[in-house]
Structure 1
């Protein structure tokens, strides 16, 4: 099964090697037939503390790193490893 890749904005970078990413999705409501926005926060592993608040990032699923971290920030090097 392929790993999911999501795109969002960094909302917090206060923790060491961790960023909080807000991912927003839009979908059509089944009854109201109206576009609804839904958002969710994910905690992602950022090895080099490279990303700051407001940055747009892509995150990829990975094995559990800690109690709350199940995602890794996708950089150019990790993108190449994920494709292989």
Structure 2
């Protein structure tokens, strides 16, 4: 089942010990175990852990990558902060 995360929840998962979560669009992915498999290297994922990585992701990837890895890595969605 998918969970709902706040941006603060995701931000708290910013290293390998706590887990590394990233946001792409509105989806949250746990890339902790994937970091060593990442073709671009773990360093890149560590840099964006706990953050919205949408801009960086779409710069180097396309929809095919999400379709391939989403079932394995997606853990939920981010709930935006209340808008006034």
Tell me, yes or no, whether TM beats 0.5. no
Bigger RCO of structures 1 and 2 (CA < 8 A, at least 6 apart): 2
More helix by share: 2
More strand by share: 1
TM-score scaled by length of structure 1: 0.28
Highest Rg: 1 or 2? Answer: 1
